[in-house]
Amino acid sequence: MGASAVTGTEVAGAEVASAEVRSTEVRSTDAVGGRGEAEAANYAKALVNILSDVDDEQRRQSQSQRAILNILEDLDTEKDRLESTQKALINMLDDLEAERRKVDSTNIELHEVNEAMQSFIATAAHDLRSPLASMVGFSSLLTKNWASLSEEKRLKFVTTIDRQTHKLTWLVNDLLTLSSIEGGALNTQPELVVVAEAIAQCLAAGNRNPAEVSISCSPELVVRVDPMHLSRMIDNYLQNAFKYGEPPVRIEATRLGATVEIRVVDHGPGVPPEFEPKLFAKFARADTPNARDQKGTGLGLSIVRGLAEANKGQASYERGTPRGSCFIVQLPVDERAQS
Amino acid sequence: MKAVLIVEDDPDIQSLIATIFSMDPRFSVAGLAETAEEALALARKTNLEIIVLDDRLAGALTGVEAVPALKEAAPGAKIILFTAHADLRARAVGQPDIDAFLLKTDTGELLPLAQQLTNMLSLL
* Tens digits of residue pLDDT in A261-299: 999 999 888 888 888 888 888 776 665 555 545 556 678
Distance CA B16, CA B10 (A): 10
pLDDT in tens, A155-173: 999 999 999 999 899 889 8
A132 touches chain B (CB under 8 A): yes
Q: Which of B12, B37, B52, B54 to mutate to test the interface with A (most CBs of A within 10 A)?
A: B12
Residue A275 or A210, more confident: A275
Q: Tell me whether residues B85 and A137 touch, CB distance under 8 A.
A: no
pLDDT at A178: 87
| Nearest residue on chain A to B85, alpha-carbon basis | A126
Residues 295-334 of A with CB under 8 A from B: 295
Residues 134-163 of A with CB under 8 A from B: 134, 136-138, 140-141, 145, 160, 163
CATH of domain B2-123: 3.40.50.2300
| Nearest residue on chain A to B22, alpha-carbon basis | A141
Residues 17-36 of B with CB under 8 A from A: 19-20, 23
Residues of chain B contacting A295 with CB distance shorter than 8 Å? 10
Of the segments A2-11, A111-120, B4-13, which one has the largest average pLDDT value?
B4-13
CA distance B54 to chain A (A): 11
- The beta-carbon neighbor of A134 closest among B13, B83, B85 is B13
Distance CA B77, CA B43 (A): 9
Domain range annotation of chain B: 2-123
Query: Taking a C-beta distance cutoff of 8 angstroms, is the pair A233, A215 a contact?
Result: no
Query: Taking a C-beta distance cutoff of 8 angstroms, is the pair B61, B81 a contact?
Result: no
Q: Rounded to whole angstroms, what are the CA distances from A5 to A1, A2, A8, A39?
A: 7, 5, 10, 13
Q: What average pLDDT does this structure show over A293-309?
A: 81
ipTM of the complex: 0.89
Amino acid at site A84: S
Confidence grade of residue B121 (pLDDT, cut at 50, 70, 90): low
Q: Tell me whether residues A126 and B12 touch, CB distance under 8 A.
A: no
Amino acid at site B43: A
pLDDT in tens, B33-78: 999 999 999 999 999 999 999 998 988 899 999 999 999 999 999 9
Checking if the pLDDT of A236 tops 60, the result is yes
For chain A, list the domains and their CATH numbers. 191-338 (3.30.565.10)
Query: pTM of the predicted model, to two decimals?
Result: 0.66
Confidence grade of residue B123 (pLDDT, cut at 50, 70, 90): very low
Residues of chain A contacting B19 with CB distance shorter than 8 Å? 141
CA distance A280 to chain B (A): 22
When the pLDDT of each residue in chain A is averaged and rounded to a whole number, the result is 85
- The beta-carbon neighbor of B104 closest among A133, A140, A160 is A133
Beta bridge partners of B33: B7
Distance CA B117, CA B99 (A): 8
Residues of chain A contacting B86 with CB distance shorter than 8 Å? 122, 125, 129
- Which region among A29-33, A82-86, A224-228, B107-111 has the lowest average model confidence (pLDDT)? A29-33
- Which region among A35-39, A205-209, A220-224 has the lowest average model confidence (pLDDT)? A205-209
8-state DSSP, B68: H
- The beta-carbon neighbor of B105 closest among A127, A129, A163 is A129
8-state DSSP, B106: G
- Which region among A32-36, A85-89, A215-219, A308-312 has the lowest average model confidence (pLDDT)? A32-36
B91 touches chain A (CB under 8 A): no
Distance CA B103, CA A132 (A): 11
Q: What average pLDDT does this structure show over A35-62?
A: 91
Distance CA A326, CA A224 (A): 23
- The beta-carbon neighbor of B84 closest among A126, A163, A292 is A126
CA distance A160 to chain B (A): 7
Query: Taking a C-beta distance cutoff of 8 angstroms, is the pair A296, A242 a contact?
Result: no
Q: What average pLDDT does this structure show over A220-227?
A: 94
pLDDT at A106: 94
* Close Cβ partners of A196 (under 8 Å, ≥ 6 residues apart): A215, A217, A218, A219, A221, A253
CA distance B57 to chain A (A): 9
Distance CA B3, CA A184 (A): 53
Q: Tell me whether residues A137 and B86 touch, CB distance under 8 A.
A: no
Residues of chain A contacting B83 with CB distance shorter than 8 Å? 126
pLDDT at A6: 46
Interface size A-B, in CB pairs within 8 Å, comes to: 55
Angle at A161 between CA A158 and CA A167, to 5 degrees: 145
Long-range contacts of the stretch B103-109 (C-beta < 8 A, 24+): B103/A129, B104/A129, B104/A130, B104/A132, B104/A133, B104/B13, B105/A129, B105/A132, B105/A133, B105/A136, B107/A133, B107/A136, B107/A137, B107/A140, B107/B16, B107/B17, B107/B20, B108/A136, B108/A137, B108/A140
CA distance A326 to chain B (A): 27
pLDDT at A5: 44
B41 touches chain A (CB under 8 A): no
Give the burial string for A60-91 (b: 16+ CB within 10 Å, else e).
eeeeeeeeeeeeeeeeeeeeeeeeeeeeeeee
Q: Which of B62, B107, B109 to mutate to test the interface with A (most CBs of A within 10 A)?
A: B107
Q: Tell me whether residues B84 and A160 touch, CB distance under 8 A.
A: no
Q: Which of B21, B105, B109, B110 to mutate to test the interface with A (most CBs of A within 10 A)?
A: B105
Confidence grade of residue A83 (pLDDT, cut at 50, 70, 90): very high
φ, ψ for residue B80, nearest 5 deg? -105, 115
- Which region among A31-40, A69-78, A327-336, B74-83 has the lowest average model confidence (pLDDT)? A31-40
Checking if the pLDDT of A2 tops 90, the result is no
Confidence grade of residue A132 (pLDDT, cut at 50, 70, 90): very high
